[in-house]
Amino acid sequence: MIIDRNSPIPQYFQLQRWLVEQLEQGVFKANDKIPTEAELVQMTGLARATIRQAVQNLVNLGYLVRKRKLGTFVLDKAEESENQTIVGMLLPDIRAGYAPELARGAEDEASKNKQSIILCNTDDLFLKAEFHADRLIDNNVAGVIFVPTAASDEKNKYIVEKFTNKNIPVVLADREIPGHSIDLVTTDNFKGAYTLTENLIKQGHKKIAITLSTLFSTERQRLEGYKQALSDNGIKIDSNLIMTHDGLYAEKYYTEIAHKLFKQKKKFTAIFAGHDRIAYLINSVAMDLGIGIPDDISLVGYDDLNPSYHNQLDLSTMHQPIYEMGIESMKLINSRIRGDKSKAKSIVLESHLVERSSVFPIKGEVKKE
């Protein structure tokens, strides 16, 4: 008996369970057509609506598939698995910085191709990246988009090789691994920082402080762009105005940096923050100290990723096409999944200057104390 009308278990669920049992016992095999609604009515005595509910639940659960004008068939999971592409993403932190925008771009491109993405947070730690790499391999991902961690280049290369040794292609997003030939989608951070610094110079700023982390290739390139812009404009580089560290972003550290900078604020007229999160933190410290941005000190950032803060500070910054970086990363990984064996590609996207109101044009040089 398929249906027990005296049971407290809903009748649609009883039919659903019976159909699953038939599948598990091999009565209905992969690609077999199951009985029609009319046939199930005769077999069970249930209403069509009840039968339709049970069958639709099994379609939703991935047991069955409806084919228009043909009927309902047992899903061939092996075939479906082969046709389904899952891509892994190893990101620093999906909650903060540019990672959410990067992931959104990749996911939007993936959905166009009926692909799925597994997101993994590394917190910029090698051990977490290694852990997630093993899990992604276990999940048979077809490719991986990887933002290198704060670990050494060799350790990041080790993560890449975990995948490539299994014939799983990898695309690096944003950060490169210097000296290694790996697909990369990034922006020109040197050029962006050069443009940002030169824009300050054109507005009369000759003494420009900068603070960032040298841990990542992107911010190291920004530092070099800043220095080159100063040199090309005949401005001597003042090491006292360069405040860097080799660690991860930490509010406590940059709060201390901001206080150190503002103690010598008469020595400079503008601050170049390595990214927008640093810039907004510097602005908060300035407000606490009664220092006006841009009335007393001009301030610029990098990324253009925090519009929710614009009510606090209308920040001039370098806009990075992070969303587009996610799209292009997915396009490149898909080309590799489809069999493109050409040499490693480096796709460099264009950033552009966004001028708002955090920079005040000045005239003349800053007087020395």
Is the predicted pLDDT of residue 365 greater than 70, yes or no?
A: no
Q: Tens digits of per-residue pLDDT, 86-100?
A: 999 999 998 888 899
What are the DSSP calls for 307-352, one per residue?
GGGTTT---BEEEP-HHHHHHHHHHHHHHHHTT--PPP-EEEEPPE
- 11-79 folds as Arc Repressor Mutant, subunit A (1.10.10)
CB under 8 Å to 237, separation ≥6 — which residues? 227, 230, 231
The confidence score (pLDDT) of residue 7 equals 87
User: Does the pTM of the predicted model rise above 0.95?
Assistant: no
Among 144, 186, 150, 149, CA closest to 165: 144
CA-CA-CA-CA dihedral for 30, 36, 41, 44, to nearest 10? -10
Is the predicted pLDDT of residue 308 greater than 60, yes or no?
A: no
Q: Are 183 and 336 in contact (CB under 8 A)?
A: yes
Q: Tens digits of per-residue pLDDT, 101-131?
A: 999 999 999 988 889 999 999 999 999 999 9
Q: Angle at the Cα of 284 (from 149 to 220), degrees rounded to 5? A: 30
Superfamily name and number for 189-321: Response regulator (3.40.50.2300)
Q: For residues 154 and 353, what is the distance between their CA atoms, to the nearest angstrom?
A: 34
126-138 vs 153-164: helix crossing angle, rounded to 10: 0
- Every domain range in the chain assigned CATH 3.40.50.2300: 84-187+323-350, 189-321
CB under 8 Å to 187, separation ≥6 — which residues? 174, 320, 321, 325, 348, 349, 350, 351
The confidence score (pLDDT) of residue 77 equals 63
Confidence of residue 349 (pLDDT cuts 50, 70, 90): very high
Q: Tens digits of per-residue pLDDT, 189-208?
A: 999 999 999 999 999 999 99
- Every domain range in the chain assigned CATH 1.10.10.10: 11-79
Q: In what order do the strands lie in the sheet with 208-213?
A: 242-245, 208-213, 270-273, 298-300
Q: Tens digits of per-residue pLDDT, 42-84?
A: 999 999 999 999 999 898 877 899 998 899 999 876 555 455 6
The confidence score (pLDDT) of residue 96 equals 81
Q: For residues 106 and 3, what is the distance between their CA atoms, to the nearest angstrom?
A: 47
Average pLDDT (4-25) is: 89
Is the predicted pLDDT of residue 368 greater than 60, yes or no?
A: no
The confidence score (pLDDT) of residue 78 equals 58
DSSP summary character for residue 361: -
The confidence score (pLDDT) of residue 82 equals 52
- The correct CATH number of 84-187+323-350 out of 3.40.50.2000, 2.40.37.10, 3.10.20.80, 3.40.50.2300 is 3.40.50.2300
The confidence score (pLDDT) of residue 261 equals 93
Confidence of residue 183 (pLDDT cuts 50, 70, 90): very high
Residue with tokens 């069955």: 64
Confidence of residue 369 (pLDDT cuts 50, 70, 90): very low
Among 127, 122, 116, CA closest to 96: 122
Confidence of residue 306 (pLDDT cuts 50, 70, 90): low
